[in-house]
Structure 1
Amino acid sequence: MLVGLSPVLDQQTRIVILGSFPGEASLSAKRYYAHPRNQFWRLLSAVIGEPLSDMGYDERLTRLLAHQIGLWDTIAACKREGSLDAAIRQAQANEFGVLLRHSPHLFRVCFNGKTSGKSEQRFSAAGFETLVLPSSSPAYAHMSFDDKLLVWNKIVEPKR
């Protein structure tokens, strides 16, 4: 079984972005969105107006938390050959009570792609604002960067 990464959260986190499960590059580097062609850091740079792509990993995380944005995945562990979500087998979900214990001000849960978006109903039923984002993965080439960014900008819209 492959085991995912620890959550990036703090007491001030108001928004969390949940991926599905880290790809091979991320697992190897022990860093979220480590594949150089993944658009995650570039998209978030545009969303929060900071050059995250130009920063070291630890500084990226510090800046995200400063914007009250956290990161995690919907899957804690699984079997998978390669990095595609379609190859995930025997998925074990993360225990999301951690979100509430570590981030009592959380109000919006965003999902990076359709696989993580399968958990959306669970969070919306619990009273969270939810948003399923077009995947930042290089495998999802159906949308241009600019079209993805139109949706990703909704991450930081004011609370409804």
Structure 2
Amino acid sequence: MARSPLLEGLPPIGSPDARLVILGNMPSVLSLSSGQYYGNPRNAFWRIVGELFGCAPDVPYEQRVAMLDRNDIAVWDVLKHCRRIGSLDSAIEPDSMVANDFGSFFVAHPNVERVYFNGAAAERNFTRLVELDVPGTLRLPSTSPAQTMRYADKLAAWRAGLSRAR
């Protein structure tokens, strides 16, 4: 039986002065191929943070990243690499998961006060794979199109969650 491809995640985005970090689980196939976080246009991430921080989701990627920087937000994923066919978190081979180096991340981002998980898989894998005490954490509903929650409900949950950091 053929093994799933080994996927390598993306480097973190956001300034070293970030006060909060949003952690996904592992970028989608579209994100990895474009080299951009939340590259699937059906993913609600850019639409949600754009609405919360005043940036249209269709502006160039560099402008969206700059919007995150202006709002002291960093983005990364829990997994450095894993084996998976497709983009679903449920398709990740559990024994292939390797977490990113969060010890180094928090040294490079000493102002992080809050860690937000973009969905249950990110929270579960961080808890299982990363042995660090981290600042206050909160799981938000996944912005993935596979999460069938209504957009208005996702937006309300993200608005409430991110307002805690302000």
2:163 aligned residue: 157
Q: Out of 71, 83, 99, which is 2:75 matched to?
A: 71
Pair 1:61 & 2:41 matched:
no
Name the CA distance, whole Å, in 2 between partners of 1:45 and 1:122.
31
SS in 2 for 1:139: coil
- Contact (CA 8 Å) 2:85, 2:91: kept in 1 or not? yes
Q: Out of 139, 144, 150, which is 1:144 matched to?
A: 150
| TM-score (norm: length of structure 2) | 0.87
Task: Give me the CA root mean square deviation.
Answer: 1.9
Pair 1:8 & 2:19 matched:
no
Paired residues for 1:34-49 under 5 Å: 34-48=39-53
Paired residues for 1:77-156 under 5 Å: 77-89=81-93, 90-118=96-124, 119=126, 126-141=133-148, 143-156=149-162
- Contact (CA 8 Å) 2:22, 2:73: kept in 1 or not? yes
Name the CA distance, whole Å, in 1 between partners of 2:134 and 2:107.
16
Q: Offset of 1:37 from its aligned partner?
A: 0.5
Q: Out of 51, 55, 61, which is 1:51 matched to?
A: 55
Structure 1: which 5+ runs fail to align? Answer: none
Letter of the 1:4 partner, please give it.
G
Letter of the 1:59 partner, please give it.
Q
Tell me the percent identity: 38
Does the C-alpha gap of structure 1 residues 126 and 42 become closer, same or farther in structure 2, counting only changes over 3 Å? same
Structure 2: which 5+ runs fail to align? Answer: 1-5
Name the CA distance, whole Å, in 2 between partners of 1:95 and 1:2.
16
Q: Offset of 1:101 from its aligned partner?
A: 1.7
2:3 aligned residue: none
- Contact (CA 8 Å) 2:15, 2:73: kept in 1 or not? no
